[in-house]
Amino acid sequence: MKRKIIYFSIKAALKMAKDAIRGFTKKYKKESFGFLLGRLENRNFRILEVVPYKGGEKGRTTFEGNRERIVKRGRELAFKRKKGVLGYYHTHPEIAGEINFGISDADRESFLKEDVPLEFIVGIGHAEKKNYPFIKHNRDGSISLRFDGYFLKFSVYYKTRTRRVKRGRLILYI
Ligand SMILES: [Zn+2]
């Protein structure tokens, strides 16, 4: 089966990577959380920009935010930047050598409750020192990035009409 394509600005990807690293390098490691801004184009989503969210309580494996405040902030951003709120991203930092790259059951549950079409997960850990920087589109639709000494994997999910959560295929563009 063909995967739904979601176009992803390379500039937005790097901004998201930097926000993920910012959380990861905090004491005890922290998740990062933010907004995906963009539009629907010929039935494909295009993520044009990402904006980190400064509020909420970020933990090593959790993000607790006031939903109303987050939705309000998203609407403000969308209005100011003349884009739609396509969804949210959050990170999964490496813990004891393990990175949970995909969507968790709790993530899936909260995504189904949100009134947005996309959910974005970024797994982050340390890269092996000898490896050089790279960026790669994976067969499962995710994107791997090695950057600044870190390894990151971006995965995007969307809801079907029958409210199932499926993985989309990310395609970077410049
Ligand atoms: Zn999660």
Region 140-152 average pLDDT: 93
Cα 71 to middle of ligand 1, angstroms: 18
pTM score of the predicted model: 0.93
Kindly list the domain boundaries of the chain, sorted by start residue: 5-173
Cα 44 to middle of ligand 1, angstroms: 24
pLDDT digits over 91-124, tens only? 999 988 899 999 999 999 999 999 999 999 999 9
The Cα angle at residue 113 between residues 117 and 71, in degrees rounded to 5:
70
CATH architecture group of domain 5-173: 3-Layer(aba) Sandwich (3.40)
**Which has the higher per-residue pLDDT, 66 or 37?**
37
Cα 31 to middle of ligand 1, angstroms: 9
> How far is Cα 91 from Cα 56, in angstroms, rounded to an integer?
14
Cα 118 to middle of ligand 1, angstroms: 13
Cα 169 to middle of ligand 1, angstroms: 19
Question: Distance from CA of residue 7 to its chain's centroid?
Answer: 13
pLDDT of residue 133: 76
H or E, element range at 12: helix 10-24
Cα 107 to middle of ligand 1, angstroms: 5
Region 82-93 average pLDDT: 96
Cα 94 to middle of ligand 1, angstroms: 12
Cα 9 to middle of ligand 1, angstroms: 22
pLDDT digits over 59-72, tens only? 888 888 889 999 99
> How far is Cα 163 from Cα 119, in angstroms, rounded to an integer?
13
Cα 155 to middle of ligand 1, angstroms: 11
